[in-house]
Amino acid sequence: MVPGHSEWKRNLLLVGFMGAGKTTLGGILSKRCRLDFVDTDQLITEQFGLSVADIFSRYGENAFRVAETELLRNLAARCRHSVIATGGGMVLKDENWRVMRQIGPVVFLRADEQELVERLSSATGRPLADDSDREAILERYRQRLPCYLRADLVVETKNQAPLEVVDAILGGLERVNPKWLF
């Protein structure tokens, strides 16, 4: 935690479509603010001992979504002073939104559609993107967009260097709620 900001007792959650940069930016943001970093997809893969693609293949998407919700509940109970990068589908369940709001402010990393398609055009290990064509990826993104827009803060990432996005997150959070100082 950044010295002088003792009122920051919560966490910060990053949401966005797969390939939006949640893990990359979350790592940079956590270092900059001296907060812990949590990646929900990584924790779930460790729990199952399988990749996300293998979890989907072996147990189905629903099992993965159930694990996401259980993980969120656990994070709400024990996680403090952390940047949490969520999986791209975490926003699909209303229950997850209730828990995320308990955990801390939610920031939507809004990436450009063309950038997302380019990032997801080759094999990525993401079961909902691999073997999907451009239109299928965009359709999934557009279906999820209203869920992402429920975030406390929307940060555009197009043509932004990672440090610029981090600055936009920090400045935006302070404007939304001055108690969210870093």
Task: Say if residue 94 carries a ligand binding annotation.
Answer: no
CATH topology of domain 19-173: Rossmann fold (3.40.50)
Provide the CA 160 distance to its chain's centre, in angstroms.
Answer: 18
Would you say 140 is a known binding-site residue? Answer: no
Tell whether 88 is in a known binding site: yes
Assess contact for 95 and 22: CB atoms under 8 A. no
53 in a labelled binding site: no
Q: Is 42 annotated as a binding residue?
A: no
The answer to the question of whether 125 is labelled as a binding residue is no
41 is in an annotated binding site: yes
The reply, when asked if residue 21 is annotated as ligand binding, is: yes
Question: 20: annotated binding-site residue?
Answer: yes
Domain parsing of the chain, residue ranges: 19-173
27-35 contact pairs (CB < 8 A, 24+)? 28/162, 28/163, 28/166, 29/83, 29/166, 29/169, 29/170, 30/82, 30/83, 32/166, 32/170, 33/1, 33/2, 33/83, 33/170, 33/182, 34/1, 34/2, 35/1, 35/11, 35/81, 35/82, 35/83
Tokens 């308990």, residue? 102
Residue 54 annotated as binding site? no
pLDDT in tens, the chain (182 residues): 343 343 445 689 999 998 889 999 999 999 998 999 999 999 999 999 998 888 988 999 899 999 999 999 999 999 889 999 999 999 999 999 999 999 999 999 999 888 877 766 654 555 444 455 667 888 888 999 999 999 999 999 998 999 999 999 999 988 887 776 65
Q: Residue 144, annotated ligand binder?
A: yes
Is 65 annotated in a binding site? The answer is yes
How many other C-beta atoms lie within 10 A of the C-beta of residue 27? Answer: 15
